[in-house]
Amino acid sequence: MTENSISNEQTGLDKAAIWLSRLTTPTIMPTLVFLFIFIGSYLRIMPVAYRMMVVGIVACFTCLLPALFMLALRIFDRTSSREKDANSDKGQTRFMFASSYLVCIVLMAKLGMPWYLTAVPLASLLIMLLCYLLGIWWRVSLHMAAMGGVIGALVMFAMLLGYNPVWALAALVLLAGMLGTARIVAGEHTNLQVFGGFAIGFIIACLLLYPTSSLLLQKLLFIY
């Protein structure tokens, strides 16, 4: 095998890793959880309008608004003559993301949605905040934390709702393996940071959606 072919192969792997990371951005994960449970579990008996409302709220505040903010920030950076401050931009982005997720949680609580539905964006927010906090000392993979959260949420919903999402879990575990490999190939994280991120997401999702968490979450979200 020639050096050129090796170089081309490596370039192809790098591009594939970058695109996979972009397609599995952490902000789409809460919406993905709701799509899985509303289509594959007994929650599909809920009225279509109600399910669309829930997915719409979650997609708007956890995916669409953060994406629009990132787009606006990039446009502002291109048109502004100010000196770029990477730390300032990161701080603004994290504040916007956290605020948007918090509004989603409060809105779902005020609308009287079941605690196990409101727990999904809450778990996502806690995963994100913990990864940001750990990032001060250790650059844990937020992508893998989000993926771990999705898998953990589906496992707990299987317990709560009494259904078997084996095919969805198998597909997500395969995707998690591909994503973890992509983050390592792209040079974004080490093996330990990838596994650590997945563990963080999985554990937080399981803890918040565990059946005995119901009373605590109801008090936290002011749902009686």
Nearest alpha-carbon partner for 157 in 140, 172, 179, 178 = 172
Domain residue ranges in the chain: 3-220
Both tokens assigned to 217: 């979450």
Indicate the Cα dihedral angle 38, 106, 95, 129, nearest 10°.
-60
The residue with greater pLDDT, 109 or 25, is 109
| Residue 94 clears pLDDT 70, i.e. is over it | yes
| Chain mean pLDDT for the chain | 82
pLDDT tens digit sequence for 15-51: 766 777 677 788 888 999 999 999 988 899 999 999 9
pLDDT tens-digit series, residues 122-181: 999 999 999 999 888 888 989 899 999 999 999 999 988 888 889 999 999 999 988 888
In the predicted model, is pLDDT for residue 5 greater than 70? no
